[in-house]
Amino acid sequence: MLKYYIKTTEALKRLRDNEDGVVSFEYVIVAACIVAAVAAAFGAGGTGPIVDALSSAISSVASKVSSAVS
C-alpha cells in the first residue's frame, strides 16, 4: 500500500511541476464552461437573448460555410 502511495504522490508532484499539464487542464475547464453555457441556453426549451444570439450566430456561420463549399 505504501508503494502505491509513494507512486501517487510522485505522479502528483510531477503533474504540479509540469506547466503543460496545467495549461491543458485550464483548457478542459474552459471547454466545460462553454459546454455548460450552451447547454443552459439550448437545454430544456431555453428562451431569451442568449438563445437568439447563439442561434443567429450559428445560422450565419452555417450559411457562410455552405456558400463557401458550393
pLDDT in tens, 2-59: 888 888 888 877 766 656 656 677 788 888 888 888 777 776 666 777 777 878 888 8
Please list, in sequence order, all residues whose beta carbon lies within 8 angstroms of the beta carbon of residue 38, skipping any fewer than 6 positions away.
54
**Exposed/middle/buried for 42, CB within 10 Å: 0-12, 13-18, 19+?**
middle
Predicted TM-score (pTM) above 0.75 = no
Residue 20 pLDDT? 61
Residue 22 pLDDT? 60
Residue 26 pLDDT? 79
Residue 18 pLDDT? 59
**Exposed/middle/buried for 50, CB within 10 Å: 0-12, 13-18, 19+?**
middle
Residue 55 pLDDT? 80
